[in-house]
Amino acid sequence: MSDLGFATDAASRTSADRVFEALQDAIVRGDIAPGSRIGETELAERFGTSRGPLREALRRLESRRLVERTPHVGVRIAALDYATLIELYYLREALEGMAAHLAALHMTADEVISLKTLLAAHEQDEALQADTAYFQQEGDLDFHYRIIQGSHNGALSQLLIGELYHRIRMYRYQFSAYANRPQKAFAEHQRIVEAIEARDGDFAEMLMRRHISSARQNIERRLKETS
Amino acid sequence: MSDLGFATDAASRTSADRVFEALQDAIVRGDIAPGSRIGETELAERFGTSRGPLREALRRLESRRLVERTPHVGVRIAALDYATLIELYYLREALEGMAAHLAALHMTADEVISLKTLLAAHEQDEALQADTAYFQQEGDLDFHYRIIQGSHNGALSQLLIGELYHRIRMYRYQFSAYANRPQKAFAEHQRIVEAIEARDGDFAEMLMRRHISSARQNIERRLKETS
DNA sequence: TATAATCAAATTGTCGACAATAGCTATTGA
DNA sequence: TCAATAGCTATTGTCGACAATTTGATTATA
């Protein structure tokens, strides 16, 4: 998937760009333990470059809050905690609510058809695999990506997909069991698409906000049960 | 004002951090023309450092979209256009609406009092200076900062204050005459504070969204008139 | 004259070395 | 035995030099 807003021409990709993407992926997937501290020399060797480009990559990852920096001490891989996850859900509720609203107003007919096709595919797959979490999660992201892109608001897309979603995915990879119930989420997806198809911006926004809000409440509920 | 999320200990500030802040300030204030291209060597000399730290600073500014980078070509100061400004207002509407909602729920009594004091000071100053745009703009930002901080949502504050607001300020400095009418905006501010004081999250959110939305519409209206 | 290929200059990308700082260890004193 | 200090080690911060690439200018050719 394209990482909006940065040049990714395969040909003229610079070493700093490559290590940025590779390191980001390693962090998001959990190949490097959250909260751990790794030296620049070690990282540079691991990614086959020198400390110069590596430090440039670290600065960008710092901006995305995937690493935390302390001057003269070093960088630490971002730690994951539930409080921050909850905060991110409020951000998603606001931003994706707006995205759904704008998508209802600005999506092209083709984009709506493509979105419905995606949902039909999900329905097929769900019918077969009942409650498989992984597909649902990736499929869920796919669905949300489409809505965001459908807003036709570049700043909004860049913010959500280019910066926020990496942190979301990091939590998904490493806090495995927190997804909303697949069938419930799927039904909510369907209603959102209906509202978009009806070009009802306010309703689409409301449905999207409730969709994300209920996911957040689901996490908060589990959090109380297990503590 | 603090630039949330990054170490700013005056003592151990690194050269890369200093040039980052200085260069960001120069860009936001328009000391360097938007859309212009400046070489790394020239920038490094201007800020009294070498290209290493400068490039780290540029990477962070790239993440904030204050500069645009083309591999092997160089960086260009972000260009300003009305389409992007409008997009940013939709972001503000969504995010600051959420901030107002959360502020109504989570602001401490002291914070509410302090916010009311700020507004009283604005009223005084407005009574004296009628329609002075500059103070109003800075005062306006002050007001919005307080609400955002009052949300007590770290991720939201970091996103708005730490990343988005620099672009907003850049537009304010350089697209001078686009502010909402001061007295109308002030009245809206008062209503928002009333809703926060009444702990009415939904209403505070609605008022904030209308406040920002009408500012956006005001810009769009002027845009049509002059074109 | 227009177009394409070639070359040169300037700029960016990368690297290794050195300087500066923080944190740890050992030593000294009470 | 504990605390404080001094020194050492490892890591980060900074710099200058070199390599790679782009861009434009120039020249040759149709």
State pLDDT tens for residues A72-121.
Answer: 999 999 999 999 999 999 999 999 999 999 999 999 999 999 999 999 98
Closest Cα to residue A196, out of A140, A136, A150? A150
Helix, strand, coil share of chain B (percent; to 5): 70, 5, 25
Residues B111, B116, B119, B124, CA torsion sign = negative
Question: Of A86-95, B3-12, B60-69, which gets the smallest average pLDDT?
Answer: B3-12
Residue closest to D21, CA→C1'?
A: B72
Average pLDDT, integer, range B41-61: 97
Distance, CA of B35 to C1' of D18, in Å: 31
Q: What is the pLDDT of residues A105-117, one digit of tens each?
A: 999 999 999 999 9
Quick check: B98 and A84 CB within 8 A?
A: no
Could you tell me the pLDDT band of residue B5, with boundaries at 50, 70 and 90? very low
Q: Do B154 and A84 touch (CB under 8 A)?
A: yes
> Of all protein residues, which has its CA closest to the C1' atom of C12?
B72
Orientation angle between helical segments B82-106 and B201-226, nearest 10 degrees: 160
Query: Which bases along strand C come within 7 Å of a protein CB atom?
Result: 10-17, 21-23
Alpha-carbon distances of B204 from B108, B121, B149, B180, rounded to whole Å: 16, 21, 15, 19
Query: What's the whole-number mean pLDDT along residues B100-126?
Result: 93
- Token couple for B165: 């607001």
- The pLDDT assigned to A1 comes to 44
Q: How far is CA A108 from the centre of its chain?
A: 23
Are A94 and B97 a contacting pair at CB < 8 A?
yes
Over the stretch A41-64, which tens digit does the pLDDT of each residue have? 999 999 999 999 999 999 999 999
Q: In angstroms, rounded to a whole number, what is the distance separating the alpha carbons of residues B210 and B202?
A: 12
Angle in degrees, CA B189, B105, B156, rounded to 5:
75
| Its pTM surpasses 0.85 | yes
Confidence of residue B2 (pLDDT cuts 50, 70, 90): very low
Query: Residue A177 pLDDT more than 80?
Result: no
pLDDT of residue B128: 55
pLDDT of A134 reads 55
